[in-house]
Structure 1
Protein backbone atom coordinates (compact mmCIF):
# COMPACT_ATOMS: atom_id res chain seq x y z
CA UNK A 1 0.00 0.00 0.00
CA UNK A 2 1.22 3.50 -0.76
CA UNK A 3 1.34 6.58 1.38
CA UNK A 4 -0.71 7.47 4.43
CA UNK A 5 -2.80 9.73 2.18
CA UNK A 6 -3.63 6.74 -0.03
CA UNK A 7 -4.55 4.70 3.06
CA UNK A 8 -6.73 7.53 4.29
CA UNK A 9 -8.59 7.85 0.99
CA UNK A 10 -9.13 4.09 0.77
CA UNK A 11 -10.18 3.95 4.43
CA UNK A 12 -12.69 6.78 4.04
CA UNK A 13 -14.14 5.21 0.91
CA UNK A 14 -14.55 1.89 2.72
CA UNK A 15 -16.16 3.70 5.66
CA UNK A 16 -18.61 5.55 3.39
CA UNK A 17 -19.60 2.30 1.66
CA UNK A 18 -20.08 0.65 5.05
CA UNK A 19 -22.22 3.52 6.36
CA UNK A 20 -24.43 3.58 3.27
CA UNK A 21 -24.93 -0.19 3.56
CA UNK A 22 -26.16 0.43 7.13
CA UNK A 23 -28.71 3.04 6.02
CA UNK A 24 -26.76 6.23 6.68
CA UNK A 25 -27.01 9.20 4.34
CA UNK A 26 -23.66 10.88 3.75
CA UNK A 27 -24.02 14.64 4.19
CA UNK A 28 -20.39 15.69 3.78
CA UNK A 29 -16.88 14.32 3.43
CA UNK A 30 -13.69 16.07 4.48
CA UNK A 31 -15.48 19.12 5.87
CA UNK A 32 -12.72 21.60 6.66
CA UNK A 33 -12.87 24.52 9.07
CA UNK A 34 -10.21 26.80 10.53
CA UNK A 35 -10.13 24.61 13.65
CA UNK A 36 -10.12 21.15 12.13
CA UNK A 37 -11.55 18.68 9.67
CA UNK A 38 -14.38 16.18 9.91
CA UNK A 39 -13.85 13.08 7.78
CA UNK A 40 -17.51 12.14 7.36
CA UNK A 41 -20.81 13.71 8.40
CA UNK A 42 -23.67 11.23 8.15
CA UNK A 43 -27.33 11.03 9.15
CA UNK A 44 -29.45 8.07 10.18
CA UNK A 45 -32.91 8.58 11.65
CA UNK A 46 -32.58 11.61 13.93
CA UNK A 47 -28.85 11.15 14.57
CA UNK A 48 -26.21 13.37 13.01
CA UNK A 49 -22.88 11.56 13.31
CA UNK A 50 -19.50 13.24 13.01
CA UNK A 51 -17.14 10.44 12.09
CA UNK A 52 -13.37 10.20 12.26
CA UNK A 53 -11.90 7.45 10.08
CA UNK A 54 -8.63 5.75 10.93
CA UNK A 55 -7.17 3.18 8.54
CA UNK A 56 -4.30 0.81 9.29
CA UNK A 57 -2.47 -2.01 7.55
CA UNK A 58 -1.05 -3.32 10.85
CA UNK A 59 -1.26 -2.80 14.59
CA UNK A 60 2.43 -1.84 14.89
CA UNK A 61 1.40 1.61 16.09
CA UNK A 62 -1.60 0.48 18.12
CA UNK A 63 -5.28 0.29 17.34
CA UNK A 64 -6.58 2.98 15.00
CA UNK A 65 -8.94 4.50 17.59
CA UNK A 66 -5.96 5.19 19.85
CA UNK A 67 -4.78 7.83 17.36
CA UNK A 68 -7.86 9.93 18.16
CA UNK A 69 -6.44 11.61 21.24
CA UNK A 70 -8.05 14.37 23.33
CA UNK A 71 -6.59 17.12 21.16
CA UNK A 72 -8.00 15.51 17.99
CA UNK A 73 -11.36 15.03 19.73
CA UNK A 74 -11.45 18.73 20.68
CA UNK A 75 -10.72 19.73 17.08
CA UNK A 76 -13.49 17.50 15.75
CA UNK A 77 -15.91 18.82 18.38
CA UNK A 78 -15.03 22.44 17.56
CA UNK A 79 -15.38 21.78 13.82
CA UNK A 80 -18.75 20.12 14.44
CA UNK A 81 -20.05 23.24 16.19
CA UNK A 82 -19.09 25.30 13.15
CA UNK A 83 -20.76 22.74 10.89
CA UNK A 84 -23.98 22.79 12.93
CA UNK A 85 -24.10 26.59 12.89
CA UNK A 86 -23.16 26.90 9.20
CA UNK A 87 -25.76 24.32 8.12
CA UNK A 88 -28.40 25.63 10.58
CA UNK A 89 -28.97 22.18 12.07
CA UNK A 90 -31.61 22.05 14.77
CA UNK A 91 -33.44 18.75 15.09
CA UNK A 92 -30.77 16.07 15.38
CA UNK A 93 -29.11 14.23 18.20
CA UNK A 94 -25.36 14.66 17.81
CA UNK A 95 -22.95 11.76 18.02
CA UNK A 96 -19.19 11.40 17.62
CA UNK A 97 -17.99 8.12 16.13
CA UNK A 98 -14.74 6.53 15.06
CA UNK A 99 -14.55 4.02 12.24
CA UNK A 100 -11.49 1.81 12.20
CA UNK A 101 -10.63 0.30 8.82
CA UNK A 102 -8.17 -2.58 8.74
CA UNK A 103 -6.76 -2.72 5.22
CA UNK A 104 -4.67 -5.89 5.34
CA UNK A 105 -6.18 -9.06 3.87
CA UNK A 106 -9.97 -9.06 4.10
CA UNK A 107 -10.86 -5.49 4.91
CA UNK A 108 -12.45 -5.26 8.34
CA UNK A 109 -14.43 -2.32 9.68
CA UNK A 110 -15.09 -1.53 13.32
CA UNK A 111 -17.67 1.22 13.93
CA UNK A 112 -17.30 2.70 17.41
CA UNK A 113 -20.45 4.70 18.12
CA UNK A 114 -20.35 7.43 20.78
CA UNK A 115 -16.57 7.13 20.81
CA UNK A 116 -16.16 10.44 22.62
Structure 2
Protein backbone atom coordinates (compact mmCIF):
# COMPACT_ATOMS: atom_id res chain seq x y z
CA UNK A 1 0.00 0.00 0.00
CA UNK A 2 1.44 3.37 -1.04
CA UNK A 3 1.12 6.28 1.31
CA UNK A 4 0.43 9.76 0.02
CA UNK A 5 2.69 12.75 0.58
CA UNK A 6 0.25 14.13 3.17
CA UNK A 7 0.79 11.16 5.45
CA UNK A 8 4.47 11.98 6.14
CA UNK A 9 3.53 15.61 6.80
CA UNK A 10 0.81 14.56 9.24
CA UNK A 11 3.19 12.26 11.10
CA UNK A 12 5.84 14.99 11.33
CA UNK A 13 3.22 17.46 12.55
CA UNK A 14 1.98 14.98 15.17
CA UNK A 15 5.58 14.45 16.35
CA UNK A 16 6.11 18.21 16.69
CA UNK A 17 2.85 18.48 18.62
CA UNK A 18 3.79 15.68 21.04
CA UNK A 19 7.23 17.23 21.55
CA UNK A 20 5.65 20.62 22.26
CA UNK A 21 3.19 19.05 24.73
CA UNK A 22 6.11 17.44 26.58
CA UNK A 23 8.05 20.70 26.72
CA UNK A 24 4.97 22.61 27.88
CA UNK A 25 4.30 19.99 30.59
CA UNK A 26 7.85 20.43 31.92
CA UNK A 27 7.58 24.23 31.66
CA UNK A 28 4.26 24.25 33.54
CA UNK A 29 5.77 22.02 36.25
CA UNK A 30 8.54 24.58 36.69
CA UNK A 31 5.82 27.23 37.05
CA UNK A 32 4.30 25.35 39.99
CA UNK A 33 1.63 23.35 38.15
CA UNK A 34 1.07 19.66 38.85
CA UNK A 35 0.36 17.90 35.56
CA UNK A 36 -2.34 15.33 36.28
CA UNK A 37 -2.88 13.92 32.80
CA UNK A 38 -1.33 14.13 29.35
CA UNK A 39 -3.07 13.33 26.10
CA UNK A 40 -6.18 12.36 28.06
CA UNK A 41 -8.53 10.47 25.78
CA UNK A 42 -12.24 10.76 26.32
CA UNK A 43 -15.26 9.86 24.25
CA UNK A 44 -15.38 13.46 23.01
CA UNK A 45 -11.72 13.74 22.04
CA UNK A 46 -8.30 14.31 23.51
CA UNK A 47 -7.19 16.87 26.09
CA UNK A 48 -3.53 17.81 25.64
CA UNK A 49 -2.84 18.50 29.33
CA UNK A 50 -4.80 18.55 32.57
CA UNK A 51 -2.98 20.40 35.33
CA UNK A 52 -3.67 21.65 38.82
CA UNK A 53 -2.29 24.58 40.76
CA UNK A 54 -3.95 25.54 44.01
CA UNK A 55 -7.73 25.45 43.55
CA UNK A 56 -7.55 25.64 39.73
CA UNK A 57 -8.00 22.63 37.46
CA UNK A 58 -6.81 23.66 34.00
CA UNK A 59 -7.69 21.87 30.79
CA UNK A 60 -4.91 22.97 28.48
CA UNK A 61 -4.77 22.98 24.72
CA UNK A 62 -1.25 23.29 23.29
CA UNK A 63 -0.91 24.86 19.85
CA UNK A 64 2.38 24.76 17.98
CA UNK A 65 2.94 27.02 14.99
CA UNK A 66 5.71 29.14 13.45
CA UNK A 67 4.47 32.33 15.12
CA UNK A 68 2.56 33.16 18.27
CA UNK A 69 -0.22 34.74 16.23
CA UNK A 70 -0.60 31.63 14.04
CA UNK A 71 -0.75 29.47 17.17
CA UNK A 72 -3.36 31.73 18.80
CA UNK A 73 -5.57 31.58 15.71
CA UNK A 74 -5.25 27.79 15.40
CA UNK A 75 -7.89 27.01 18.03
CA UNK A 76 -11.18 26.82 16.19
CA UNK A 77 -14.67 27.15 17.74
CA UNK A 78 -15.20 23.47 16.91
CA UNK A 79 -12.04 22.50 18.83
CA UNK A 80 -13.16 24.62 21.79
CA UNK A 81 -16.47 22.76 21.85
CA UNK A 82 -14.66 19.43 21.70
CA UNK A 83 -12.40 20.45 24.59
CA UNK A 84 -15.40 21.56 26.67
CA UNK A 85 -17.14 18.21 26.11
CA UNK A 86 -13.94 16.24 26.75
CA UNK A 87 -13.32 18.17 29.99
CA UNK A 88 -16.82 17.32 31.20
CA UNK A 89 -16.20 13.63 30.56
CA UNK A 90 -12.76 13.80 32.22
CA UNK A 91 -14.26 15.41 35.33
CA UNK A 92 -17.02 12.78 35.44
CA UNK A 93 -14.32 10.08 35.67
CA UNK A 94 -12.23 12.02 38.22
CA UNK A 95 -14.81 13.10 40.81
CA UNK A 96 -12.15 13.70 43.46
CA UNK A 97 -11.32 16.98 41.64
CA UNK A 98 -14.91 18.28 41.74
CA UNK A 99 -14.07 20.95 44.35
CA UNK A 100 -11.52 22.58 42.03
CA UNK A 101 -12.39 25.49 39.74
CA UNK A 102 -12.18 24.35 36.10
CA UNK A 103 -10.48 26.63 33.62
CA UNK A 104 -9.69 26.36 29.91
CA UNK A 105 -6.19 27.52 29.04
CA UNK A 106 -4.27 27.79 25.81
CA UNK A 107 -0.51 27.50 25.60
CA UNK A 108 1.16 28.76 22.44
CA UNK A 109 4.38 26.96 21.52
CA UNK A 110 6.67 28.62 18.99
CA UNK A 111 10.11 27.23 18.10
CA UNK A 112 13.01 28.72 20.08
CA UNK A 113 10.75 30.77 22.36
CA UNK A 114 9.31 30.26 25.80
CA UNK A 115 5.68 29.11 25.74
CA UNK A 116 2.96 31.73 26.06
CA UNK A 117 0.33 30.70 28.59
CA UNK A 118 -3.14 32.22 28.15
CA UNK A 119 -5.08 31.36 31.32
CA UNK A 120 -8.85 31.31 30.88
CA UNK A 121 -8.52 31.63 27.11
CA UNK A 122 -12.16 30.64 26.77
CA UNK A 123 -15.00 29.63 29.05
CA UNK A 124 -17.80 27.12 29.07
CA UNK A 125 -20.36 29.96 29.19
CA UNK A 126 -19.30 31.09 25.73
CA UNK A 127 -17.25 34.17 26.71
CA UNK A 128 -14.16 33.96 24.58
CA UNK A 129 -11.06 35.76 25.82
CA UNK A 130 -9.21 34.83 22.62
CA UNK A 131 -11.03 37.56 20.75
CA UNK A 132 -9.85 40.07 23.37
CA UNK A 133 -6.14 39.41 22.75
Q: TM-score, normalised by structure 1?
A: 0.89
- Give the drift of 1:109: 0.8
Within-5 A mapping of 1:35-50: 35-50=44-59
Residue matched to 1:5: 14
Higher helix proportion: 2
Aligned counterpart in structure 2 of residue 64 of structure 1, from 59, 71, 94: 71
Give per-residue Cα distances to partners, 1:39-72, cap 9 Å, x unaligned: 000000000000000112x23xx52121111110
Residue matched to 2:82: 75
Name the CA distance, whole Å, in 1 between partners of 2:50 and 2:39: 8
Q: Is the 8 A contact 2:41 2:47 kept in 1?
A: yes
Residue matched to 2:118: 112
Long gaps (5+) in structure 2: 1-10, 123-133
Give per-residue Cα distances to partners, 1:72-101, cap 9 Å, x unaligned: 000000000001111113210010000011
Q: TM-score, normalised by structure 2?
A: 0.78
Q: Once superposed, which parts of structure 1, at least 4 consecutive aligned residues long, lie more than 2 Å away? A: none
Equivalenced residues, count? 110
Long gaps (5+) in structure 1: none
Residue matched to 2:110: 102
Larger Rg belongs to: 2
Report the aligned-residue RMSD: 1.3
